[in-house]
Amino acid sequence: MDPRIREHAEIVADHSTGIEAGENVVIAMPKEAEELAVALHEVVGDRGANPVYLNNSERASRAFLRARADDSETETADGEREDERAFETPSHQLALYEESDVVVVARGGANVSEQSDVAPATTAAYRRAMQPVLKERLSKRWCLTQFPTSGHAQLAGMSTEAYENFVWDAVGLDWDAQREHQAEMVEILDGADEVRIRSGEETDVTMSIAGNTTLNDYGEKNLPGGEVFTAPVKHSVEGEVHFDMPLYRQGREIEGVRVRFEEGRVESYSAERNEDVLDGVFDTDDGARYLGELGIGMNRNIDQFTYNMLFDEKMGDTVHMAVGAAYEECVGEENEANESAEHVDMIVDMAEDSVIEVDGEVVQRDGTFVFEDGFE
Amino acid sequence: MDPRIREHAEIVADHSTGIEAGENVVIAMPKEAEELAVALHEVVGDRGANPVYLNNSERASRAFLRARADDSETETADGEREDERAFETPSHQLALYEESDVVVVARGGANVSEQSDVAPATTAAYRRAMQPVLKERLSKRWCLTQFPTSGHAQLAGMSTEAYENFVWDAVGLDWDAQREHQAEMVEILDGADEVRIRSGEETDVTMSIAGNTTLNDYGEKNLPGGEVFTAPVKHSVEGEVHFDMPLYRQGREIEGVRVRFEEGRVESYSAERNEDVLDGVFDTDDGARYLGELGIGMNRNIDQFTYNMLFDEKMGDTVHMAVGAAYEECVGEENEANESAEHVDMIVDMAEDSVIEVDGEVVQRDGTFVFEDGFE
């Protein structure tokens, strides 16, 4: 086993989640990531905790979702409602998470397009049914990380070995130093009111973050981490955004997303490619039409786009906004936390012709922060 | 996907477990069996049930068990007791099974020797901690089956393709016809008192089954099925048995097991190879020293030993006895059900120089039943 896999497992156990004796741990990852799961079982055993090992198989999920969708079609014939009836919250899975302390999820399937032939409406209906499970899982100490497989290397346009180096370099960062670097941006945002983001000809959006909390992500819930993030005040978002980085959703690449917000709500949208996947997202529930997160990437060690949100959104010259559920810990008592079964991050490249303004002050220009060398 | 995999999944869902809409299903198998898991997810989706998919990874279990054993050694130094302290019942896993209706487990790991370097005492301690989980699982509708992998083909001394044919032929039997065939033996045993089994020079054992129930296994809890089985009256077993078929336990082959029973209890034992694994079994708890099961193989379609108990114990000219836990449904109200964290089947080859007598009547001679052609 590559020694970096054991190091990865130790970072997850000690830095990201703090696994302790007697705790119940869920380890959920696809079979291609088994070596990381083996290393995690070793660490979990060493710390005196108890593992349950779920196989996050996209092939199995696809088979289930398609079969259930077919089934509902034969039973009913009244359009969208059929999907609502087709799924129920799996109470055994819910019970598993209720009794757990820590959840470790790794991506790393063989084929990122595995769910590309599941209808977006089916996925949306399934997500609605799974929302209580997701909510329970997110209430635990959790970590989402990546195992470098050939499928994800291919997505990034990299050799498998180069991608392994990329992933483990990103995972093995000096997280204390990263935390301090990011704290400078947290300080700017905490207590601030208006954030305005402009990029190129098409992006100019303004939102309030007044009363909400900005969190510093240094490799805990996401590994790699490397962003600061908060929640926009639900109805405050106004303007237009051109998300110029593609995103993968259900195995399909959505390109060139354009969204117009009015009083916080997505009033119109388009995509240059696979717009129907976006329809599925926005039709999931009303909360999917509002922003749940504003995130600012600050990890300079992630130096290229790999079409994987876990990495791309952390890049030092990007911002991302997520439609759907807000993180409750970001939302102040006076404000409404946006609720949704969705949480879909989309990225704006801020490297050129871009500024972030906070309460009228420019805090990032063309990807360089005000507290970094080279800011003009 | 080989069409026999989908047929296998349908037999599991419809014949073995009867999965219905709204039920919670646990699918637990190693990653090498993923195609069967995918087919099961399809069937589960089609039937309107809800899956959870556990990865039964022997590599991960081994890593966990060894790490925990090491850990306990550094913390304490008082011999056997350290193992007792080293494991606890994982309550999240227990909660998962409590909320489940059906559990499908498949064997099919890449390497049957994967746990060969886990200390038997560690495994025994782990089994004790897991007993409530096992008990919960066995209280559900469950099925144990096999996916034909190269590792198990190698164990059987067969090519992978020949082994695939062997497994799927056995799984796809006409289970209605098999049930009727076996019912003849159930009729003989039901209401009987004394069973005596003699084979060769070394096996001559007598036990009472009075008051206990004989069950007909036709591919439900075991797939393939093909045996009738009951529980011996706990303290009635007297005599000696030479289990002349090897068994695999924790990835190690135990050969030539000889056991002497007095008033039901194992008073002495030996093995020609890997006797220490047997020590771990018998030292698990006191119940591990008593028989929990007497089984009579009746499946004529399993025509060769493959060193896999799921198949070997069903062969038409074998009997098997399990030390450890009795199946509660076999034990009459007047009798005591043997309890144990163990259940270890061991086989006697009855093909030659062997008889089974029930209440003094010979019911099988040299592997041929009294109701079969060729019985003399």
Name the residue type at position A87. Answer: F
Name the residue type at position A297. Answer: G
Q: What is the pLDDT of residues A271-314, one digit of tens each?
A: 999 999 999 999 999 999 999 999 999 999 898 999 999 999 99
By C-alpha distance, which of B344, B346, B326 is closest to B335?
B326
pLDDT of residue B294: 98
On chain A, the residues whose CB falls within 8 A of the CB of B91 are 24, 50, 99
Yes or no, beta carbons of B45 and A66 under 8 Å apart: yes
> For residues B193 and B352, what is the distance between their CA atoms, to the nearest angstrom?
25
CA distances from B220 to B27, B144, B215, B216, B224 (A): 15, 8, 11, 10, 8
Structure tokens given for A233:
């005040």
What is the chain A residue with the closest CA to B55? A55
Q: What is the pLDDT of residues A172-188, one digit of tens each?
A: 999 999 999 999 999 99
The reported pTM is: 0.89
pLDDT of residue A72: 54
HSE-CB at B230 with a 13 A cutoff on CA atoms is 24
A81-104 b/e (C-beta count within 10 Å ≥ 16 → b): ebbeebbeebbbbbbbbbbbbbbb
Q: Which of B26, B41, B65 has its CB closest to that of A45? A: B65
Per CATH, the number for B3-171 is: 3.40.1830.10
Q: Is the pLDDT of residue A317 over 50?
A: yes
Yes or no, beta carbons of A97 and B92 under 8 Å apart: yes
ipTM of this complex: 0.87
Segment B345-359 shows an average pLDDT of 96
By C-alpha distance, which of B309, B304, B298, B288 is closest to B243?
B309
On chain B, the residues whose CB falls within 8 A of the CB of A34 are 31, 55, 57, 59-60
Structure tokens given for A16:
């990201």
On chain B, the residues whose CB falls within 8 A of the CB of A47 are 71
Helix (H) or strand (E) holding B124: helix B120-138
Among A335-349, B163-177, B239-253, name the one with the lowest average pLDDT: B239-253
By C-alpha distance, which of A89, A104, A109 is closest to A137?
A104
Residue B15, classified by CB atoms within 10 Å of its CB into exposed (0-12), middle (13-18) or buried (19+), is middle
> For residues B29 and B31, what is the distance between their CA atoms, to the nearest angstrom?
7
pLDDT of residue B295: 97
Q: Which of B34, B95, B96 has its CB closest to that of A31? A: B34
Q: Is the pLDDT of residue A76 over 60?
A: no
On chain B, the residues whose CB falls within 8 A of the CB of A43 are 67
Q: What is the pLDDT of residues A17-49, one digit of tens each?
A: 999 999 999 999 999 999 999 999 999 999 999
Structure tokens given for B372:
């079969």
pLDDT of residue B77: 46
> For residues B26 and B102, what is the distance between their CA atoms, to the nearest angstrom?
6
pLDDT of residue A376: 83
The distance of B365 to chain A (nearest Cα, Å) reads 47
Helix (H) or strand (E) holding A286: none
Residue in the block written with tokens 């045996």: B227
By C-alpha distance, which of B231, B229, B213 is closest to B221?
B229
Please give the DSSP secondary-structure letter assigned to residue B374.
T
A122/B contact by beta carbon, under 8 A: no
Q: Is the pLDDT of residue A106 over 90?
A: yes
Between A and B, how many residue pairs show a Cβ–Cβ distance under 8 A? 158
| Residue B33 and residue A59 in contact, taking contact as beta carbons nearer than 8 Å | no
Q: Which of A41, A60, A96 has its CB closest to that of B60? A: A41
Q: Residues 2-31, chain B: which have Cβ within 8 Å of A?
A: 22, 24, 26-27, 31
Interface probe for A, chosen from B55, B76, B89, B103 (most Cβ of A below 10 Å), is B55
The distance of A218 to chain B (nearest Cα, Å) reads 28
Name the residue type at position A348. Answer: V
Q: Is the pLDDT of residue A101 over 90?
A: yes
B179-196 b/e (C-beta count within 10 Å ≥ 16 → b): bebbebbbebbeebeebb
Q: Residue A340: helix, strand or coil by DSSP? A: coil
What is the chain A residue with the closest CA to B70? A46
For chain B, what are the domain ranges? 3-171, 175-369
pLDDT of residue A248: 84
More confident residue, B373 or A80: B373
CA distances from A304 to A144, A157, A346 (A): 20, 11, 16
A43/B contact by beta carbon, under 8 A: yes
pLDDT of residue A68: 87
> For residues A98 and B84, what is the distance between their CA atoms, to the nearest angstrom?
26
> For residues B59 and B257, what is the distance between their CA atoms, to the nearest angstrom?
28
More confident residue, A278 or B252: A278
A73/B contact by beta carbon, under 8 A: no
**Pairing of β B238-243 and β B102-107:** unpaired
CA distances from A349 to A275, A320, A365 (A): 20, 9, 12
Yes or no, beta carbons of A90 and B41 under 8 Å apart: no
pLDDT of residue B248: 84
> For residues A322 and A319, what is the distance between their CA atoms, to the nearest angstrom?
10
> For residues B362 and B356, what is the distance between their CA atoms, to the nearest angstrom?
6
The number of helix segments (H) and strand segments (E) in chain A equals 11, 20
Q: What is the pLDDT of residues B32-86, one digit of tens each?
A: 999 999 999 999 999 999 999 999 999 999 999 999 886 555 444 444 444 444 7
Yes or no, beta carbons of B65 and A46 under 8 Å apart: no
Name the residue type at position A163. Answer: Y
The distance of B205 to chain A (nearest Cα, Å) reads 42
How many C-beta neighbours within 10 Å does residue B200 have? 14
User: pLDDT exceeding 70 applies to what percent of chain A?
Assistant: 96
What lies within 8 Å, CB to CB, of A237 at 6+ separation is: A205, A206, A207, A261, A263, A264, A290, A291
**CA torsion through residues B286, B289, B291, B292, sign:** positive
| Residue B109 and residue B150 in contact, taking contact as beta carbons nearer than 8 Å | no
> For residues B199 and B362, what is the distance between their CA atoms, to the nearest angstrom?
13
**Pairing of β A141-146 and β A102-107:** parallel
Yes or no, beta carbons of B46 and A68 under 8 Å apart: yes
Average pLDDT score over chain B: 93
> For residues B76 and B85, what is the distance between their CA atoms, to the nearest angstrom?
9
Interface probe for B, chosen from A92, A102, A115 (most Cβ of B below 10 Å), is A92
pLDDT of residue A69: 83
What lies within 8 Å, CB to CB, of A255 at 6+ separation is: A246, A271, A272, A273, A274
> For residues A232 and A330, what is the distance between their CA atoms, to the nearest angstrom?
9
Peptide bond just before B224 cis, omega within 30 deg: yes
Segment B321-348 shows an average pLDDT of 94
pLDDT of residue A124: 87
On chain B, the residues whose CB falls within 8 A of the CB of A57 are 34, 37-38, 41, 53
Q: Which of B43, B52, B88 has its CB closest to that of A93? A: B52
CA distances from A253 to A271, A308, A309, B32, B72 (A): 10, 11, 12, 30, 49
Average pLDDT score over chain A: 93
On chain B, the residues whose CB falls within 8 A of the CB of A65 are 45
